[in-house]
Structure 1
Amino acid sequence: MASVKPVVVYPPAADGGRRVRVDDQFLGIAYGPLDIAEFLRRAGIEDADEAYVAATGLIEWRGGGPGAWAADRDGDSA
């Protein structure tokens, strides 16, 4: 069985994007669960999809879980 390294998803930035890394490798900036699923597919987890991203214990979510994407934007809606 192959060793699987944890995926770390960092808190949302001002633009809502979240840095994603595996071990010491930066995978990219995700703007939603589908972006993370694509990063995981490129890393070899072929069955990764939005449901997988929300449910897997492989991901360490920092600064909010799979539903936290926008930075606090008080006053955006009038």
Structure 2
Amino acid sequence: MKATVTVMLKSGVLDPQGKAIAHALGTLGFTGVNDVRAGKVLEIELSETDPEKAKATAEEMARKLLANTVIESFQVSVAG
């Protein structure tokens, strides 16, 4: 079973990488870009076959290691 964990900075937290990307897009001629927020996506292959247990395990991984929950939020999705 594959778990996908998406980690993003919480709103209100400065995102210098996102600002740099937004600036670069503007210099490449892409107009109308108001803001960019950069994050990370982690795909984790789990041996668990129960979707609820797999999601719970991935959420625990995110809370303990994958996300800094003080400044980042995360979402977990699971696919068979």
Larger strand fraction of residues: 2
TM-score by length of 1: 0.27
Greater RCO structure (CA 8 Å; 6+ sep): 2
